[in-house]
A = this chain, B = another copy of it.
Amino acid sequence: MDFSKTFNDYKEKVEAYLEEISSFELPNPCYFSKLQDSVKYSLLAGGKRLRPVILLAACEMAGGNTEDALPFAAAMEMIHTASLIHDDLPAMDDDDLRRGRKTNHKVYGEATALLAGDTLFVYPFEIMAKATKTENQAKAMQIIAYNTGVMGMMGGQQVDLSYEGKPVTEEIIVQLNRLKTGALFRAAVCAGLSLAGASQKELEAGEKYGEYLGLAFQLVDDLLDDDPDADTGKTKGSDISQNKSTYLSVYGKEKCLEMIHTCTKNAEKILTDTFLEKAEFLITLTNQLETRKS
Contacts and interface: CB of A to CB of B under 8 A. Distances in A.
Copies in the complex: 2
A150 B31 contact: no
Interface stretch (A33-41, A197-205, A225-233, A252-260): A33-41
Given A115-B157, A123-B145, A125-B145, 19 more contacts: A24-B150, A30-B175, A31-B162, A31-B163, A32-B162, A35-B158, A86-B118, A89-B114, A91-B110, A115-B154, A118-B121, A121-B122, A122-B122, A122-B149, A125-B125, A125-B129, A129-B138, A132-B141, A138-B138
A68 B285 CA distance: 43
A249 B289 CA distance: 58
Interface in A81-127: 82, 86, 89-92, 110-112, 114-115, 117-119, 121-123, 125-126
Contacts of A150: 24, 32, 35-36, 39, 119, 123
A133 interface: yes
Interface string A118-160: 1101110110011011010011011001101111001111110
A26 B79 CA distance: 23
Interface string A234-269: 000000000000000000000000000000000000
Interface of A: 24, 26-27, 29-32, 34-36, 39, 79, 82, 86, 89-92, 110-112, 114-115, 117-119, 121-123, 125-126, 129-130, 132-133, 135, 138-139, 141-142, 145-146, 148-151, 154-159, 161-163, 171-172, 175-176, 179
